[in-house]
Structure 1
Amino acid sequence: MNFGSKSLAFLVLAAAPVSAQAADVVIPDPNYISGRTTAFAVKAVIEEALGLEVEMVTTTAVPVIFEAMARGNGEIDIWTETWLPNQSGMVAKYVDEDKTVTMSDKSFEALNGYCVTKVTVEEYGIKSVFDLANPENAALFDTNGDGKGEIWIGPQGWQSTNTETIRARDYGFADFFELQSTDEAVATAGLDRAAKAGKPWVGYCYGPHQNFAMYDIAMLEEPPNDPANFVMVQPTEDPDWMAKSHVASAYADTSVHITWSSSLSERQPALVNLLKNIQLSADDVNAWSLAVVNGEDPAAVTQAWVKANPELIASWMAQ
């Protein structure tokens, strides 16, 4: 999610209503592989089950996506990657308070945290987030010679990137690292180079994700989630968000939900019934993601899965 500002993301969305009028449903196509596969899977399910025309739009800043769904005019209808607790601020505002967006009760499990190449643990003994709060250890991750290590904290536009900024500060290692907020493809390229060279690498990791199948990586140890030590205020909630946030524990159990514009209940009631019942799985998302990394088209991968599971799709329609 590489939009550096909300205004730039709106430029992308500005063209959406023109093309959206020709489609029945509009879904964002995010720029990270696992997210692309869930978007194309839901698209394939909708087209197979209901025969609706589904359009994909390229926009990835989460606040912009929720704002577009909330307007209810067809700019964006469905978001397949609502991560909790990462996007809890958006859910609190638009789902719980305004009720302009609806979230499915169904979800699949995911994970959030810091991962490292296995050599980082086995040869350098870095096993915990607190091992990063040491200038000598941080120097192991310095690839540009500036005296600081590099750690990827996520792309701009992800709420988790804001959270990782606070966690780096409150875990005590921010001063020893350059906190990199780049496109995920850039981070993966760095991981790939480090893994092939047997070098240390550290960054924010989430799953399901193809990297867990492609590379020998390990998660760093963290203190268990503690609500008292996981107080996150997002920039959209308060301009003084950094001072009011304190995050020094692991994420709570993470789940991924489908959300949609509440206006669909009037515009597409059969679609809403289907969305309430779709149950994706982390194993399937991992498999789809790996296939896409290996060069397959996400639309073809997920369409093949839908064709191979007619009874499951039918059960989602019948509930």
Structure 2
Amino acid sequence: MKFTKIILAALCAIMIASTAMAMDMKPGDGVTLRPARATWNTGFFQEALARRGLEELGYDVKKPKDLTNPIAYKTITLGDIDYWCNGNFPLHNPQLPKNFHEKASILSPIIKAGGMQGYLVSKKEVEKFGIKSLEDFKRPEVIKAFDLNGDGKADLTACPPGWGCEKVISKHMEVYDLKDYVKPIKASYEAGMASALGAYKSGKPAFFYTWTPNWTVYKLKPGKDVMWINVPEEGDTEGTVSGIEGAVSDPLRPGFVVYDITVVANKKFLAKNPAAATFLENFTLPLSDVSEQNTRMNEGEKSDKDIAKHVDDWIAKNQDKWNAWLDAARKAAAK
């Protein structure tokens, strides 16, 4: 009996030690990774989180290169960059090199339908006037409510000249015959949205274009403060999207391409590094978390040190999920 107890104790000790070793496994030890990063700072957070996870797996992850989309996809295809976390698909499909799918992979979305774009209207006015689409801004009572400067047109906080969204909004104004009813405000977007937010807080209606992830949908939450509205069906070329929180209808016709935010990686890199591949495949984020972090940046926390602190805070709040990703990665490496 005594001998059996000794054997059992020894086995338990071995199992505990093995578990501890598995938790501390560094499958990436000795391997250097070369990431890229978007040129827009609203995409920095997911890159920083992915980098932290890969470092915990033992990889030596270089400082990311800030690249434009076409250059990023080309360098990943060539094998000069291993991965980036700022793929937007199907939006970026036209920017892929011809041999992209032979050399690179688009992984499961970090944020499904995370790249939402469209028009938001204060919920109070949506309910008061029964607003469903841009077409409702031709109604006299709606124009009057949203005419903040007395020029006889509803004021829309839009995009500065030269932005891609500015061109789409201008097209909508023309295609839907809205030029005599809606006035897009094309000043600095940050300044325009700050003004719109201030007006909303003082009890005035809000009508603005935005995209996600973005601080705007953290300050004015869809479904609570504002609602996504449709573009009129006639002339719409971007189709519909379902399951959007805070939309006036399901499906919704936003008038803009809605895209997934994904990791894109070189195939040889993925094959040689199963731990990294598994971590990046499992890595997901709620859109609300990214919007909250973007808000902190908008309020001044923009440095790499600040973003590293945001990563610390997110991991602390999501420790079980984080550990599960790391465990899955270590198990993949051990096979």
TM-score exceeds 0.5: yes
Residue 47 of structure 2 corresponds to: 39
Q: CA RMSD in A?
A: 4.3
Length, aligned pairs only: 272
Is 1:310 paired with 2:323?
yes
Q: Which has the larger radius of gyration?
A: 2
Give the TM-score normalised by structure 1. Answer: 0.64
Residue 175 of structure 2 corresponds to: 170
Q: Quick one: distance in 2 between partners of 1:57 and 1:120?
A: 44
Residue identity in the other structure for 1:102 = S
Residue 230 of structure 2 corresponds to: 222
Aligned partner (choices 194, 200, 205) of residue 195 of structure 1: 200
Residue identity in the other structure for 2:107 = S
Residues 223 and 178 of structure 1: CA distance in aligned 2, closer, same or farther (over 3 Å): closer
Q: Quick one: distance in 1 between partners of 2:225 and 2:283?
A: 31
Tell whether the 8 Å contact from 2:215 to 2:294 is kept in structure 1 after alignment: yes
Tell me whether 195-204 or 113-122 shows the greater mean CA deviation: 113-122
Residues 31 and 253 of structure 1: CA distance in aligned 2, closer, same or farther (over 3 Å): closer
Corresponding residue SS for 1:279 = coil
**1:231-310 alignment, distance < 5 Å:** 249-250=253-254, 254-260=258-264, 262=266, 265-266=268-269, 269-270=272-273, 271-272=276-277, 274-290=279-295, 292=297, 297-306=306-315, 308=319, 309-310=322-323
Shift of the alpha carbon at 1:189?
A: 0.9
Q: Quick one: distance in 2 between partners of 1:147 and 1:279?
A: 46
Residues 36 and 167 of structure 1: CA distance in aligned 2, closer, same or farther (over 3 Å): farther
Is 1:26 paired with 2:31?
no
Q: Quick one: distance in 2 between partners of 1:28 and 1:223?
A: 29
Q: Quick one: distance in 2 between partners of 1:284 and 1:120?
A: 27
Residue 235 of structure 1 corresponds to: none
Q: Quick one: distance in 2 between partners of 1:184 and 1:57?
A: 26
Is 1:67 paired with 2:80?
no
* Cα shift readout 1:186-226 (whole Å, capped 9, x = no counterpart): 34312222212222221223445443443353224326989
Percent identical across equivalent pairs? 20
- Structure number with greater CO (CA < 8 Å, separation at least 6) is 1
User: Structure 1: any 5+ residue segments left out of the alignment?
Assistant: 1-21, 233-247
Residue identity in the other structure for 1:91 = N
Tell whether the 8 Å contact from 2:108 to 2:263 is kept in structure 1 after alignment: no
Q: Quick one: distance in 2 between partners of 1:288 and 1:130?
A: 34
* Cα shift readout 1:1-51 (whole Å, capped 9, x = no counterpart): xxxxxxxxxxxxxxxxxxxxx98323125233xx33223222322333343
Tell me whether 184-193 or 98-107 shows the greater mean CA deviation: 98-107
Residue identity in the other structure for 2:171 = I
